[in-house]
Structure 1
Amino acid sequence: MNRRHGVSVLTLICATAILGIPVTAHAEPRPEPVTNAPLEQVRKEIRDLYREAASATDAYNLAGEEAKRQSDQIVTVARRIAEGQSRIDDLKNRAGAAARAQYRTGGLPPGAQLALSNSPERFLSGAGRLQQGHRATMDVISELQRSQLDLQQYASDASSHYRTLEANLRKKEAAKREVTEKIAAAKQLEDRLEAEEKARLLQLEREEEYREQRKWLNSGALKDTKGTATEAGRQAVAYAIKQIGKRYVWGAAGPDTFDCSGLTSQAWLAAGTKIPRTSQEQLRLLPKVAVKDMRPGDLIIYFKDASHVALYVGDGKMVHAPRPGRNITMAGAGSMPILAVVRPESG
């Protein structure tokens, strides 16, 4: 079976699950057992390195999101500083105009000039204007003081945002180093293997996934699951399925390559809902639902550190971007330890 035909079959399986057409099996076909103790040890080392890389990738993505947010805040504050400075300049010009007017009258305050007037009519008619002018002058002074205080606060905010931005950029670089080191170490282990050993390594991975999926299904986890996809959920699932076969690349969010949370966040963006970029933030900020209540489109968070996420497509299956060196695929939803299920939509 070629790759294109394989993707079509997977798409058909998922589509029938979403539409409520029964699919005959929840689990992947049982792979033939492979026994090789030294290779199994290598597999575990590679698996652990990639999981550590996945956790560091989440930290990298989060630091990148925070850095972008801080950059946007800095732009906003800079605009406020410019507007505030322009306002202060305008207020100073108005205050200067009042001072120049007083100078032209010989330096006497308007009240004194009015009191020395020989005309009662002029005094009475000018009293109201004098009061209005006094209030206007006081308003200008008060507004000038407020604008100056605002400007000081904006400057303080800008400094704070710059410090936070620098800290997030340092976190991002540190996470990037850790990711590249872990992936390089795992790849070095894989590169030492012969082609036949690499094939057996893949077989060992599938065996483990099969065991975990069977264990999960035998626990009765899906016994009372009856959730049906919403329209948005169907759109998110359809998007994820279309990405099957594309490469995993850490830090990527499409359109040609994805990491795990890049896939789930883009799937829901295609459905019209913006969700957090990282699996840990998806866990922290999205509403949690019980496994028995999950429905196609929900996100399944894996491992204790929430370092992996997949999109549930129904019938005990999920679509995910597994790790470097692997392509986006459909797998058993219970093939890894489930930490939580979260729902990107509230309906």
Structure 2
Amino acid sequence: MSAKLLRLACTAAVAAQAVLAPLPAVAAPDPRRSVSRLLTDFQRLYLQAERATETYNAAAERLEHQRAVVVRLDGELAHARLVLRDSRGDAGRLAREQYQNRSDLSPYLRLLLARDPQHALDEGHVIGRLARDRAEALDRLTGSEKRRDALARAARSALDTQLTLVGRQRKARDDVRARLADVERLLASLTPEQRGEMAALERDGVADAQRRLTASGALGDGRPPSRGGDRAVRYAMEQLGKPYRWGAAGPGAYDGSGLAFRAWEQAGTPIPRTGREQWARLGKVPLDRLRPGDLIVYFPEATHVALYAGGGKVVQAPGPGERVTLAPIAGHPILGAVRPDAAPAAAPGTAGPRARGTARPPAVRPR
């Protein structure tokens, strides 16, 4: 949410992502409405778009996992069918052998009438072994049938779940597009003067929040990065200039949490894909203990993420129509910070001095 996002109204890339059925038009702004109120409306719409993007990312991640489950179960089911075929073959072979060797005489009578009792005893042992083999084959056949049936049910259920997730992903995708279209409509309705005033107001608000955060001492004393953190920041810096695209995690484009996800993956520490999961599952660290590579999580619902680069700056994929950039840490309201390479059990229990270190949108401070 910065002045650079005001170019959305004429950004072809965003327009290409937002091909929709006609939606109700956003009302033209009231000329009497203050610029701060316009900025508030813009920030609200933008935040809704980021929430929708996180929902889409979560749905996409679950769908990818579910597809892997379906593939695994399909493979296990195919193997179970081969085992069942072999079990049926064994059972059939033993049944034929029993039929071919059948006799109306009992084993005891055959032993009494045999010319060679020892041979009859040996034959009895063979017959007993065949009987045991037949029983074991039948047990394997029964077990194979049960396993096949259980896997078939699991595979059907997994496929049903996958189809449900496909529907959710499509709905989330459509929601993102609709929210971005709302942002575009609002921007397109503004005059050049209103856009310029709104951009200046937002720049002033970010600069003021950055000064207050720095003066408070909340950013600590410049701790060095860990080896993983250094690698993550280096990777993120190499992505500067690449475009933002919602739902993207590289290598050609990124969204906020996607950039953090890919940077730490390249550093050798896999982390969750979405900002919400990153905030929920990674070890939290106070702002006054930040070191480069830590993730700065923004907004109450953890809908935006950036990598701390040191010196009060973050590397981030800002939003639609923009490119990966180095920006002040106080560009958005800070929820807290997390450290991907910290053991969760040893991580600090608080998110740091939020009251001193949280930037507030300038729109809530009318001039």
* TM range, smaller chain: 0.7 to 0.9
Q: Distance in 2 between matches of 1:294 and 1:271?
A: 18
**1:321 is aligned with what amino acid?**
A
Q: What does 1:63-142 correspond to in 2, within 5 Å?
A: 63-106=59-102, 115=111, 118=114, 119-142=116-139
Conserved in 1, the CA contact under 8 Å of 2:217 and 2:288? Answer: no
Q: 1:153 aligns with which of 150, 154, 157?
A: 150
Q: Deviations over 1:130-159 (max 9, x none)?
A: 343233222212222221111121112112
Give how far 1:98 is off: 0.9
Runs of 4+ in 1 over 6 A off after TM superposition: none
When normalised by structure 1's length, the TM-score is: 0.82
**1:200 is aligned with what amino acid?**
E
Q: Give the count of matched residue pairs.
A: 311
- Does residue 1:272 correspond to 2:282, yes or no? no
Give how far 1:345 is off: 1.7
Q: Distance in 2 between matches of 1:215 and 1:94?
A: 80
Structure 1 segments unaligned to the other structure (5+ residues): 1-35
Give how far 1:226 is off: 5.1
Over 3 Å counting, the alpha-carbon distance change for 1:116 and 1:46 in structure 2 is farther
Conserved in 1, the CA contact under 8 Å of 2:111 and 2:117? Answer: no
- Does residue 1:144 correspond to 2:141, yes or no? yes
Give how far 1:297 is off: 0.8
- Does residue 1:45 correspond to 2:41, yes or no? yes
Conserved in 2, the CA contact under 8 Å of 1:102 and 1:109? Answer: no
Q: 1:306 aligns with which of 302, 308, 311?
A: 302
Q: Which moved more, 1:82-91 or 1:166-175?
A: 166-175
Q: Which moved more, 1:143-152 or 1:328-337?
A: 328-337
Q: Distance in 1 between matches of 2:146 and 2:278?
A: 39
Q: What does 1:148-297 correspond to in 2, within 5 Å?
A: 148-223=145-220, 225=221, 227-297=223-293
Over 3 Å counting, the alpha-carbon distance change for 1:98 and 1:317 in structure 2 is same
Equivalent residue for 1:27? none
Q: Distance in 1 between matches of 2:289 and 2:184?
A: 39
Over 3 Å counting, the alpha-carbon distance change for 1:185 and 1:112 in structure 2 is farther
Structure 2 segments unaligned to the other structure (5+ residues): 1-31, 344-367
Over 3 Å counting, the alpha-carbon distance change for 1:89 and 1:194 in structure 2 is same
Conserved in 2, the CA contact under 8 Å of 1:60 and 1:172? Answer: yes
Q: Distance in 1 between matches of 2:314 and 2:247?
A: 21
When normalised by structure 2's length, the TM-score is: 0.78
Equivalent residue for 1:345? 341
Q: Deviations over 1:213-255 (max 9, x none)?
A: 22322333124x5532122211110111122222221111222
Conserved in 1, the CA contact under 8 Å of 2:233 and 2:307? Answer: yes
Q: Distance in 2 between matches of 1:51 and 1:108?
A: 86
Conserved in 1, the CA contact under 8 Å of 2:244 and 2:323? Answer: yes
Q: Deviations over 1:74-129 (max 9, x none)?
A: 11111111111111111111111111112212466995796466121113323433
SS in 2 for 1:257: coil
